[in-house]
Amino acid sequence: MNYKSKSLLINYVSVPELLSCLIPDIGLALLAGALKKEDHLTKILDYSTLETIKRFCPSKHLQEEFREISGDLENYFQESKFIDSDLLNNFDLSRYKGLLEKEKEEKSREIKKIINEIDKEIQVMKPDFIGFKLWSGECFIETVEIAEEIKKRYPNLRIIGGGPQVDWSQEHIYDVTDVFDVLAFGDGDETIIEVAEYCIGERDIEIIPNILYKKDGKVCFNDSRMVKDLDKLPLPDYSYETYPALKANNKLKVFMLEESRGCPHTCNFCIHPIKSGDRWRIKKPERIISEIENIINTHNSRYFRFSGSNTPNLLQTQIAQEIIKRNIKVRYSSFGHINAYRNCDYSLMRAAGCESLLFGLETGNYGLQKDVINKVIKVEDAEKVLNDCKRSGIKTVVSVIYPNPKETEETRKETLEYLRKIKPDGAFICMPFIVPRTSWFIDSDKYGIDIPSKEKHIRFMMTYHVRYNGHPILWNFGSHKINNLDFRQQGLECGRFVDDIKKIGLATQVTEEEMLFASIVKEDFMDFALKYQRIRNNCDMEGLEKLITNLNENVCNVSN
């Protein structure tokens, strides 16, 4: 077969921390589907795998050193224990940072090997371009390191970056590196075809939508364009030929299911409507079901997580109706919005296989909801939705930001009271992220967010690494202040709030997808989450392989 172009698409996330990082990457699978449909050859090299976790596992000696100083702080969230204030106040931060440096040295040896592996792929395929998915966190710096070395070895090979980091940071990526010939933001499905044509000299760069690039030292932005009809998109390509990491148990065989893009709400902290549009674009339920059937037929998996940030309630109902009509046995989890979900038919959704839902609350205080978050959710509405879910057997997680800008002792108490009243199965507490291009970033002064240098803050957000399971004191530090609290104090406050959540008897830091994973092996979700944490903290690679194998062996089963 004569292909128009050849490419490698790379997903590198450094050390995949969450179990959900092993879910196959729908973004790259979609790009591969689009390329293949137009006769462009492509292959996905996904390093977010079990193999990568194993190869980045710190040496025994380093593991012991970490354990010695972090102790209980490492698996703080899911344990029901509380952290002694002496441990926090006396925490040896500089020694901890020293250990992180040592960890970096160990990792850099593996990164060199990864570069050589990519090099071998290049020699075999001789691609016209390489596309990197760019995330934020330490993985961004490492991806840049990989891309720069590849560029050094193959100066004429075009290197493209795309994905969430570009949505956040846009032209600021060029302050860090010039390695990317093109950066793609927003929807990539149509852009990737035009980028491929550009890379083989068949399209002018000026007319490709959703990209930025450098010309004569200046950054040029092209127009943005969203995919109008999601139903017309090719199916994501999860074939072993295109996506070899899916072989064996290197990835988790739970799949993302794209039902919608965009969100009509404009919460002040959220990038989603900026990236994907401030109105919903939805797929027809029949099309969604055909994607489900495709996964069942090719990978024998019946477990899905919807990828939309705010799945419309009507679509939820229609998907459930269609699943029941066709008698397809599946389990799935999704995000939802309490205000829109007040009258959902939860019994129907449960009967269709809905296992768990995550609702963004952010705060229980009306003033903060209105002035800081821009999402007002009445306690009685939340109570009704969560009770309805409970009665139907659907588990719920509510996410809360703490400390919010303008947070006070009073608002803190109100949020706790609110949570006590609505009793979700889990509460997920996040520190506030001040994401570039959002209202919290642009109008920071209005919210009492003190960002000494916006340039520096963007740089910080590019590499910000959340250690999801460790106490926030272990997270890396920005220079911005919220309510006059520096970053370390925000971390301590967040930890104090998590302690209070535990005291009111709620499970913390468990996600709706972990609830879905636990249902595959019919375990209590908290036991499952804790087991995963212990395995990771003990670097028990055998245990991890067993856990993933067990999940993958059971994704074909759905029982009541």
In the list ligand B12, ligand SF4, none, the entry touching 310 (Cβ below 5 to 8 angstroms by class) is ligand SF4
In Å, what is the CA distance from 296 to each residue of 80, 92, 173, 359? 38, 50, 39, 28
Distance CA 430, CA 447 (A): 18
Report which of 309, 378, 388 is spatially closest to residue 354, judged by C-alpha positions: 388
Q: Which stretch binds ligand SF4 (CB under 6 A): 261-269, 281-289, 508-516, 526-534?
A: 261-269
Distances 152 to 147, 158, 327 between C-alpha atoms, Å? 9, 12, 54
Rounded CA-CA distance 329/156 in Å is 49
- Interface with ligand B12 includes 273 (CB under 6 A)? no
Smallest distance from the beta carbon of 135 to ligand B12, in angstroms?
4
Instruction: State the Cα–Cα distance between residues 205 and 477, nearest whole angstrom.
Output: 38
Between 31 and 338, name the residue whose CB sits nearer to ligand B12. 31
User: In this complex, which beta carbon is closest to ligand B12, that of residue 160 or of residue 416?
Assistant: 160
How big is the site for ligand SF4, counted in residues (CB under 6 A)?
A: 12
Interacting positions 357-376 with ligand SF4 (CB under 6 A): 360, 375
Pick one of ligand SF4, ligand B12, none as the site partner of residue 360 (Cβ within 5 to 8 A by kind).
ligand SF4
- Is 265 a residue that touches ligand SF4 (CB under 6 A)? yes
With contacts defined by CB under 6 A, name the span among 2-10, 102-110, 229-237, 266-274 that binds ligand SF4.
Answer: 266-274
Helix axes 93-125, 60-70, angle to 10 degrees: 140
Q: Which of residues 156-195 bind ligand B12 (CB under 6 A)?
A: 160, 162-165, 168, 184, 187-189, 191-192, 195
Measured N-to-C along each axis, helices 487-503 and 409-422 cross at an angle, to the nearest 10 degrees, of: 40
Cα gap 317→332, rounded to integer Å: 13
**Residue 189 binding partner per list ligand B12, ligand SF4, none, with a CB distance cut-off of 5 to 8 Å that depends on partner kind:** ligand B12
Q: Choose between 270 and 400: whose C-beta lies nearer to ligand SF4.
A: 270
Contact between 462 and 455 under an 8 Å Cβ cutoff? The reply is no
160 makes contact, choosing from ligand B12, ligand SF4, none, with CB < 5 to 8 Å by partner type, with ligand B12
CB 171 within 8 A of CB 185: no
Q: Are strands 281-282 and 260-261 parallel, antiparallel or unpaired?
A: antiparallel
Please pick, from the candidates 184, 270, 372, 494, the single residue that binds ligand SF4 as defined by CB under 6 A: 270
What backbone torsions phi and psi does residue 71 show, to the nearest 5 degrees? 45, -125
Q: Contact between 397 and ligand SF4 (CB under 6 A)?
A: no
- 151, 158, 172, 272: which one binds ligand B12 (CB under 6 A): 272
* 509 class by beta-carbon count within 10 Å (0-12 exposed, 13-18 middle, 19+ buried): buried
Q: Which of residues 191-250 bind ligand B12 (CB under 6 A)?
A: 191-192, 195
- DSSP-assigned letters across all residues of 324-391: HHTT---EEEEEE-GGGGTT--HHHHHHHTEEEEEEEEE-S-HHHIIIIIS----HHHHHHHHHHHHH
Give the contact letters, 306-345, x = binds to ligand SF4 (CB under 6 A), - = no: ---xx--------------------------x--------
Q: Which is nearer to ligand SF4, 399 or 519 (CB)?
A: 399
8 A C-beta contact, residue 492 and residue 472 = yes
Residue placing its CB nearer to ligand SF4 in the complex, 93 or 376:
376
The entry of ligand SF4, ligand B12, none near residue 273 (CB within 5 to 8 angstroms by kind) is ligand SF4
Nearer to ligand SF4, 5 or 309 (CB): 309
Closest residue by Cα to residue 28 from 214, 248, 244 = 244
Residue 265: contacted member of ligand SF4, ligand B12, none (CB under 5 to 8 Å, by partner type): ligand SF4
Beta bridge partners of 397: 358, 426
Count of Cβ atoms closer than 10 Å to residue 538 Cβ? 13
Residue 177 binding: pick among ligand B12, ligand SF4, none (C-beta 5-8 Å cut-off by kind): none
CA distance readout (Å), 11 to 43, 46, 125: 11, 5, 18
Q: Which of 42, 75, 301, 307 binds ligand B12 (CB under 6 A)?
A: 307
Interface ranges with ligand B12 (CB under 6 A): 13, 16-18, 20-21, 23, 25-27, 30-31, 48, 131, 133, 135-137, 160, 162-165, 168, 184, 187-189, 191-192, 195, 256, 258, 271-272, 307, 309, 466
Interface ranges with ligand SF4 (CB under 6 A): 263, 265-267, 270, 272-273, 309-310, 337, 360, 375
